[in-house]
Chains A and B, each alone.
Chain A
């Protein structure tokens, strides 16, 4: 065995022969699992329509397997092969119910991502593939397909004085979106692929009006119903069966308990002009499986505190009791001694963290399911990834505490500082001691950035939502957060190593 191998073996023997440290590590994993299970089994999802309790609906799933919202009013005809739809949008208006500041009236207005335009969709099932070309209230013309793809066209809103022409053409499997201001000169917006028999037509939808407030107390958001109505004329359709009737479908609408439709859309046709109204959205669902990961891993925060204590004690008791002198007699190369401790501690805590996360996420999901949660589950590769990253998070915190303990030589200070920079910023973001903007900055600059491993759904620029840490969205990507944690740990260990090498023992 090499010199370093012997050192690692000795440090491992040191660790495993102190019952308190072994039990502490096990307790950290246990507390992670138990707290996560406690929270999950006490979280109930209760859905009701009016006064009747119903089972919570399962969200439809898009082509990539992610949960989506697919609700809009669709006026359409079937299309088998090549074809095109051309339309002129001359107005777009809407209603917003009970917006701030007073929340007491229904006002005319549009939310920024209200959508009206043409769409080619693979059937009328929710979650089916589509390609859409649309005007939006505040983001100009957009071409979107399959929920997560979004391309910008020209900016500007639509009005009677400034109408917008939209054309979606299919040749073979390729769809091309074009827009025009006058119907004569066309600019291409984008292309996409969609094969097979499809439904081609007009659509209108509008997401809810959202206010996000990041206040003390965790912040939150309010969503209120908003509708959009658009007027289309000069509708030209090629490639469909001649003389076909327009089919009308309120995609994604839900029935009320009494049989009527809940917030239905509508269409009126008069002399070639169609006025279509709709509400809902064609977009990926945000923040639906994210919080469940965060919920399951809630115990990790307390487990981290325990791990930090064990890591700090691992080095500070040796320093305090003078055992470091014995260690240095056995292994005079001081940098290597610290490195061997880091290897052992890092490995042990990595295993404990990964095991705890791998155990608690599926168990918590099972508990949530039996409590009425109906979001689609997180796929196994994602669970594996999050569990491994959780192990890295725990190991990183342990190594930071080790470095602080070796540097400051006092367990109290090491624990205090490590908990303050690893745990408290995350707590402030989730429990809500600070406004969202402040906690997001902390989640960039402190080792708590590593909690970003819990983000499983990306942010979408074309979907307005409450993208806060409390909902499972973090300012840094997972690897970025782990890198920040690693950087702090490396700094602490580096300084500690320098101090150890310089000083007399």
Chain B
């Protein structure tokens, strides 16, 4: 495994695309969070906004870049036939997939942590001045729910990356895999927002990867959430596990 991991790491650090995807994750996340924070102004206290969730809004764009990174980790090789070479050098395909998962997860963890901390910093800097001072303190890592939201958001990004990796292993074309993951993530929140059936809405939101996973970002109005914060991440983890399993099965049985 170590050798395979080393080989995979060499592949990643010599691939220019992968190298600038990592800062893009950070930039995209922080930029959108800035947009969200700057646009949120409250007249007279209690505007119904959760300052922490607002600061972390950028994760919703950052996750698309994380998906790109994960798809690239395996999709890039399937397109060029490099996968065949990889499997010739390392015939135990599961080990290869595991190494890619470790690498993707690790890189996402690193970039995600920087991105999320950047969002918190932005929130601390800008939110108090925006009229949010009445009773809404700036997000602080010392606060329990805030810390949970921050850690949870980083884990969310990692799990999304693993989900995407599984799908990309299953769908050989990287563009199609990217489209499939994005459609999978965004379809349910879209449908749930439009449907006028509160029970169905709640059910959909409980079990869909994106809405369940993002529940971890909430620090206020927890009763309104479709699912509890950690439970939501568990749902997402189940999706990621299933996706990796599917990808592993297909990788194992198909000719590369």
Contacts and interface: CB of A to CB of B under 8 A. Distances in A.
A/B: CB atoms within 8 Å of each other: yes
Interface of A: 35, 38-39, 42-45, 100-101, 213, 215-216, 218, 294-295, 298, 301-302, 305-306, 308-309, 312-313, 316, 320, 410-416, 419-420, 423-424, 427-428, 430-438, 441-442, 470
B175 A415 contact: yes
Contacts of B61: 420, 424
A411 B174 contact: yes
B200 A320 contact: no
A43 B48 CA distance: 26
Given A424-B61, A427-B190, 15 more contacts: A35-B187, A42-B195, A43-B194, A43-B195, A216-B36, A216-B49, A298-B191, A305-B183, A309-B179, A320-B79, A410-B17, A416-B178, A430-B194, A434-B32, A438-B40
Contacts of A427: 186, 189-190
Contact of A412 (B46, B47, B54, B175): B175
A42 B200 contact: yes
Contacts of A306: 179, 183
Majority secondary structure, B binding face: helix
Contact of A215 (B44, B49, B174, B191): B49
Among B46, B173, B178, find the residue whose CB has the most chain A CB atoms closer than 10 A.
B178
B39 A435 contact: yes
Contacts of A215: 47-50
B173 A419 contact: no
A434 B35 contact: yes
A252 to B, nearest CB: 25
Nearest to B40: A435
B36 A43 contact: no
B193 A434 contact: no
9 contacts: A35-B187, A43-B197, A216-B53, A298-B194, A309-B176, A316-B175, A411-B173, A416-B65, A427-B190
Please name the 5 residue pairs, one residue from A and one from B, whose CB atoms are nearest each other, closest first: A411-B175, A438-B39, A309-B179, A43-B196, A437-B39
A448 B256 CA distance: 38
A431 B183 contact: no
Contacts of A295: 194, 196
A312 B71 CA distance: 16
Among B44, B49, B175, find the residue whose CB has the most chain A CB atoms closer than 10 A.
B175
Interface in B37-94: 38-41, 44-50, 53-54, 57, 60-61, 64-65, 67-68, 71-72, 75-76, 79
Given A43-B196, A44-B196, A298-B191, A416 B64 contact: yes
B121 interface: no
B178 A412 contact: yes
B179 A419 contact: yes
A415 B47 contact: no
Among A309, A424, A442, find the residue whose CB has the most chain B CB atoms closer than 10 A.
A309
Majority secondary structure, A binding face: helix
B191 A434 contact: no
A216 B190 contact: no
Given A313-B175, A412-B75, A301 B186 contact: yes
Contact of B183 (A302, A313, A442): A302
B182 interface: yes
B197 A44 contact: yes
B57 A434 contact: yes
Interface in B147-206: 173-176, 178-179, 182-183, 186-187, 189-191, 193-197, 200
B157 to A, nearest CB: 15
Given A308-B179, A416-B68, A424-B61, A302 B49 contact: no
Contacts of A419: 64, 178-179, 182
B60 A100 contact: no
Contacts of B197: 42-44
A430 B190 contact: yes
B35 A424 contact: no
Nearest to A313: B175
A42 B195 CA distance: 6
B64 A438 contact: no
Among A294, A295, A316, A411, find the residue whose CB has the most chain B CB atoms closer than 10 A.
A411
Contacts of A44: 196-197
Nearest to A316: B175
A345 B76 CA distance: 25
A414 B175 contact: yes
A342 B21 CA distance: 29
Contacts of B46: 100-101
Contact of B194 (A294, A308, A312, A437): A294
A416 B71 CA distance: 11
Contacts of A309: 175-176, 178-179
A42 B202 CA distance: 13
Contacts of B79: 320
Contacts of A39: 191, 194-195
A139 B179 CA distance: 50
A438 B38 contact: yes
Contacts of A100: 44, 46
A298 B190 contact: yes
A301 to B, nearest CB: 6
A302 B54 contact: no
Nearest to A38: B191
B165 to A, nearest CB: 14
A313 B179 CA distance: 11
A101 B194 contact: no
Given A215-B49, A312-B175, A434-B35, A301 B68 contact: no
A458 to B, nearest CB: 22
A302 B40 contact: no
Contacts of A470: 193
Contacts of B182: 305, 415, 419, 423
A470 B194 CA distance: 9
Contact of A432 (B76, B193, B196): B193
A320 B50 CA distance: 46
Given A42-B200, A416-B64, A213 B48 contact: yes
Contacts of B174: 411-412
A432 B45 CA distance: 21
B190 A302 contact: yes
A412 B64 contact: no
Contacts of B193: 218, 430-432, 470
Among A218, A316, A433, find the residue whose CB has the most chain B CB atoms closer than 10 A.
A433
A101 B175 contact: no
Nearest to B49: A215
A434 B57 CA distance: 7
B68 to A, nearest CB: 5
A209 to B, nearest CB: 15
A44 B197 CA distance: 6
B64 A424 contact: yes
